[in-house]
């Protein structure tokens, strides 16, 4: 039986129409890993969804509202969708309380950090880094190196270092209640873990798995954790 993996959709207006959306690559990766992908719209009413999923995937997307972590918007912040934020944070809180396996990708990792009481850099220009975190290479190609903490959940899947793609301008500034386990060359947190299978990564493994099959291990590990929770 395939474990049911909830994938949170985005929310926004395009061509004067409000839409829910998610990139196909997330759905395809979950299916290939043996899961049954179920799309979940951002909503404050999360109880019904938690009854039908065995794991939760939080994909990438737009910036998070800085009011979620106690800050006013600063220069460099980009588009936000407060209703997306509210629905995501409500679902995250409920899933964490239920101890569901969780996998956050890019914005999804940042949402997890914020849900646990952490803070974000609203724009990485604040750090003074000279590392470009938005790549100009094709999305499936790795962009920069990361080092991975020895003996961590991530190192068991990818080893102690690897190269990853990168499409973000925000990042974790303060991590609370989670353990940072991977870092870019400029020491930005690139991955976090929590209790059970709770994993957040700052890159986009779903775009790399065609040419870099080691990245598929992240989805396999996540789906297996959801299967074991059945």
**Which residues are annotated as catalytic?**
106, 204, 206
What gap in Å lies between CA 161 and CA 158, rounded to an integer? 7
CA atoms within 13 A on the CB side of 19: 8
30: closest CA among 50, 63, 7? Answer: 7
What gap in Å lies between CA 155 and CA 120, rounded to an integer? 24
What gap in Å lies between CA 177 and CA 214, rounded to an integer? 28
Tokens describing residue 112:
């997890």
Running DSSP on this structure, what letter comes out for residue 64?
A: P
């Amino acid at each position: 039986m395939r474990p049911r993996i909830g994938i949170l959709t985005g929310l926004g207006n395009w061509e004067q129409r409000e839409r829910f959306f998610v990139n196909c690559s997330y759905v395809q990766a979950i299916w290939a890993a043996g899961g049954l992908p179920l799309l979940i719209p951002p909503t404050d009413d999360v109880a019904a969804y938690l009854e039908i999923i065995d794991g939760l995937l939080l994909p990438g997307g737009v910036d998070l509202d800085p009011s979620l972590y106690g800050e006013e918007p600063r220069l460099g912040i980009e588009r936000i969708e407060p209703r997306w934020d509210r629905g995501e944070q409500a679902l995250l809180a409920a899933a964490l309380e239920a101890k569901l396996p969780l996998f956050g990708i890019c914005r999804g990792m940042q949402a997890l950090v914020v849900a646990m009481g952490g803070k974000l850099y609203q724009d990485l220009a604040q750090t003074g880094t000279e590392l470009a975190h938005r790549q100009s290479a094709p999305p499936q190609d790795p962009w920069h190196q990361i080092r991975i903490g020895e003996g961590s959940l991530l190192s068991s899947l990818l080893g102690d270092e690897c190269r990853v793609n990168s499409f973000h301008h925000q990042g974790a500034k303060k991590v609370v209640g989670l353990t940072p386990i991977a870092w870019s060359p400029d020491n930005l947190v690139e991955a976090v873990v929590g209790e059970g299978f709770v994993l957040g990564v700052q890159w986009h493994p779903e775009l790399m798995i065609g040419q870099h099959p080691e990245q598929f291990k992240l989805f396999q590990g996540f789906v297996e954790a959801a299967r074991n929770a059945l």
